[in-house]
Amino acid sequence: MSYKLKQLAELLGVKVHGDEEVVIKSVAPVDKATEGDISFVSSAKYLQGLRNTSASAVIVKPSMLEDTKVAALVVENPRATYARVVSLLYPQHLPEAGIHASASIDLTAQVAVSASIGANVVIEANAEIADDVIIEAGCVIGRNSKIGKSTHLYPNVTVYYDCIIGEQCILHSSSVVGSDGFGFEFDKTEWLKIAQVGGVRIGDKVEIGACSVVDRGALNDTVIEEGVKLDNHVQIAHNVHVGAHTVMSRGVGVAGSSKIGKNCIIGGMAGIRDNIEITDNVIITAMTIVSKSLRQPGSYSSTTPIDDTKSWRKNSVRFRQLDDMAKRIRLLEKQIENKG
């Protein structure tokens, strides 16, 4: 695809600075861009690159115009405009509407005419597939589950029964929605399974990464609100509630019945214990263990710093003496004080 800069500006409703006839075919970083490329600069540290760029156009903030020698789209959030430009220049290839001959669709399931159902897809009884949904090869949609308008399931996704997925969602391959929560009760000699009879409700515009899992509720539903983005290998346990527009990086685990607020950012491989409450606008850094509720917005961390293994070993063994060290410091302080 290629656009004149003025066409991009019109499609996006933004202002042009300079030559609006320049032709844009691709995106590239400001320091590597050449003719036909558009770049974006969102921070002052790339101003030098901006001044020297060979891009045909750039996306910049108004304050950057004096450092801009080439044509430009002038916006408040260059990266957001960049995101929209990428989608225009590199339109996604979407499969055609229709049902592949090898798909197995229960007679009681409802599949919109505009939906695209890939090879070997299985859609069970009473499931509902809305308009413009794309379900790629090998996906399985369980009984009574509903997939909202324009949602896209990549190949080999499994959605269990009684799960509701919103509109414009994206589920990546090998992800699973609706598997049993981990609920057992030890009874004399063995673990008795507690049937997980709740479902899953996922809002609009939610993205779920490859190999991520959202368990069904024990009794009530597991809930993910709109706009939530989950990276790969994320786990949402039974009866968890994730607030709108919260993002979780790769490998995050949220244990049972915890409630995460809106607009939180959870770093990769962080673990959140069960029955925790996290308020809105909380940031958790990578690999942190959240073992208590967080009622104030802000950034939280645990973990220890990386070191060469030899030094680390020497310091790490002292961790077991920390309480002793603290007490000895207190004792020294008293001794000094007494001698004062």
Nearer to a second copy, 20 or 204 (CB): 204
Q: Which of residues 95-114 bind a second copy (CB under 8 A)?
A: 100, 102, 104
Residue from 17, 205, 241, 259 touching a second copy (CB under 8 A): that is 205
Q: Does residue number 1 form part of the binding site for a second copy (CB under 8 A)?
A: no
**Shortest distance, CB of residue 36 to a second copy, whole angstroms?**
14
Nearer to a second copy, 16 or 284 (CB): 284
Q: Does residue number 302 form part of the binding site for a second copy (CB under 8 A)?
A: yes
Q: Does residue number 43 form part of the binding site for a second copy (CB under 8 A)?
A: no
Residue 30 CA: distances (Å) to CA of 33, 47, 50, 54, 326: 5, 10, 6, 8, 53
Q: Is residue 109 within 8 Å of residue 128, measured between CB atoms?
A: yes
Q: Does residue number 199 form part of the binding site for a second copy (CB under 8 A)?
A: no
- Strands (E) located in 21-161: 23-24, 26-27, 37-40, 57-60, 71-74, 98-99, 104-105, 110-111, 116-117, 122-123, 128-129, 134-135, 140-141, 146-147, 152-153, 158-159
Q: Does residue number 312 form part of the binding site for a second copy (CB under 8 A)?
A: yes
Which own/partner contact pairs does 289-292 have at CB distance under 8 Å and 24+ positions apart? Answer: none
Q: Which DSSP helix (H) or strand (E) runs through 185?
A: strand 184-187
Q: Does residue number 261 form part of the binding site for a second copy (CB under 8 A)?
A: no
- Residue span binding a second copy (CB under 8 A) among the ranges 9-17, 52-60, 64-72, 189-197: 189-197
**Shortest distance, CB of residue 327 to a second copy, whole angstroms?**
9
Residue from 28, 97, 99, 112 touching a second copy (CB under 8 A): that is 28
Residue from 22, 41, 50, 255 touching a second copy (CB under 8 A): that is 255
The whole-angstrom separation of Cα 9 and Cα 91 is 17
Here the tokens at position 265 are 């950012």
Residue from 158, 222, 239, 257 touching a second copy (CB under 8 A): that is 158
Residue from 1, 66, 96, 320 touching a second copy (CB under 8 A): that is 320
Task: Give the residue among 258, 251, 243 at the shortest CA–CA distance from 291.
Answer: 258
Residue from 97, 273, 277, 280 touching a second copy (CB under 8 A): that is 273
**Shortest distance, CB of residue 316 to a second copy, whole angstroms?**
5
Annotation says 238 is catalytic:
yes
Find the catalytic residue in 17, 152, 233, 238. 238
Q: Does residue number 44 form part of the binding site for a second copy (CB under 8 A)?
A: no
Strand order in the sheet with 200-202: 110-111, 128-129, 146-147, 163-165, 200-202, 222-224, 241-242, 259-260, 277-278
Q: Does residue number 210 form part of the binding site for a second copy (CB under 8 A)?
A: yes
Here the tokens at position 233 are 């290998």
Q: Does residue number 259 form part of the binding site for a second copy (CB under 8 A)?
A: no
Residue from 34, 43, 48, 77 touching a second copy (CB under 8 A): that is 77
Task: Give the residue among 202, 186, 185 at the shortest CA–CA distance from 194.
Answer: 185
Q: What are phi and psi of 82, to 5 degrees?
A: -55, -45
Count other Cβ atoms within 10 Å, centred on residue 36.
15
**Shortest distance, CB of residue 21 to a second copy, whole angstroms?**
25
Within 13 A of 137's CA, how many CA atoms are on the CB side?
4
Query: Catalytic amino acids?
Result: 238
